[in-house]
Amino acid sequence: MKIVKLHRRALVPVLGLAVLLVPAQSPAAPGLGSVEVTPDHVAAGSTNTFKLTFTADTGPLQGQTLIDIPRGWSLPQAARLGATGFVALARDTCSSATKLLRVSGYRLTITTDCKRGQRFELTYGPATASTLAADGYVFLTQTKPTVGLTKIKLVRVKKVVRNKAGKRVTKTIVKRVRVLVPPTFRPLAAKKQPVVVVNGGAVDHLVLNAPTIATAGTPFSITVRAEDVYGNTTSAYTGTVGFSSSDPDAFLPTPYQFTTNDLGAKTLGGVILRAVGTQTITVSDNSGRVDVSNPIAVYSF
């Protein structure tokens, strides 16, 4: 039997090279700190004064903070106290070096010098919220430290060595090198960003949607929605609605009272039109609001 000798020293560089040249890639770390905003729920188009509180929660921050006001809101400014969009900073427990550096468009730049656990407060208002209702408008916050981070980088280096026979050979080795990564702005973690929910405002009108085509005698559904002046659904609407139609023989839903669980919109089924031709359905509520549906082409088949 032939014996094959394995040389451990010949295997180690190959294995080590394969492992070290493919380090695991980790996602970029989020910015440092967290921000809370009050109020965090407002009506579309309403005017409020907002307070944003920044806290250096996981470590100190000596550097800068950027806060972007959502587009469609009042343009921020720091020149006219009491005027729309006025912003002001109170350093609270942070050092006196913390101050509002500039306001450029919708972006606020803040020089930040806060130890861990310290905070500063920013007021913005009176400011008018967007007229478009949405589950969340993010006041995007980013931070950048003054000094970059030191990281370990793996580099391949060619080195001339002698093998067992004394012959000079070139060998590639991997070395760990410390490098300074320049500081960059990074957004705060999603759950640490200030978010304001904008709901529909006070009800202004009703909207009734129906299919454009129907078959005589065949049931279909209609949807009634309460909207504010901007066309957003008014989720708090609790009025009572009734129905009528240009078809005198139509079978229509009985009067319905909205509940808060409807969130301002309700689909009602079992509607039947019997008269062939173009028909409409009208909705009205107990406060005198009225809307006529789109024309419905009713066919006999």
Residue 284 to residues 115, 223, 264, 294, Cα–Cα distance (Å): 60, 13, 15, 15
Region 167-190: what's the mean pLDDT? 84
How far apart are alpha carbons 141 and 189 in whole angstroms?
9
Omega of the bond leading into 145 within 30 degrees of 0 (cis): no
For 68: left if phi > 0, alpha if psi spans -120 to 50, otherwise beta; the answer is beta
Contact 149, 178 (CB under 8 A): no
Q: Is the pLDDT of residue 15 over 60?
A: no
What's the pLDDT at 148? 63
Per-residue pLDDT tens over the stretch 208-221: 999 999 999 999 99
Maximum C-alpha span of the chain? 108
What's the pLDDT at 242? 98
Q: Which CATH architecture has domain 34-146+183-199?
A: Sandwich (2.60)
Higher pLDDT, 247 or 6: 247
What's the pLDDT at 10? 35
What's the pLDDT at 241? 98
SS3 269: strand
Examine domains 34-146+183-199 and 205-299 and report if their fold is the same: yes
Give the mean pLDDT of the chain: 89
SS3 91: coil
Where along the chain do its domains lie? Answer: 34-146+183-199, 149-182, 205-299
Per-residue pLDDT tens over the stretch 202-255: 999 999 999 999 999 999 999 999 999 999 999 999 999 999 999 999 999 999
Q: Choose the most confident range, by mean pLDDT, from 10-14, 168-172, 180-184, 288-292.
A: 288-292
Q: Which CATH superfamily is domain 205-299 in?
A: Macroglobulin (MG2) domain (2.60.40.1930)
Task: Give the model's confidence band at 165: pLDDT under 50 very low, under 70 low, under 90 confident, else very high.
Answer: confident
Strand 41-43 to 195-199 pairing = parallel
Q: How many residues does the chain have?
A: 301
Strand 195-199 to 47-55 pairing = unpaired
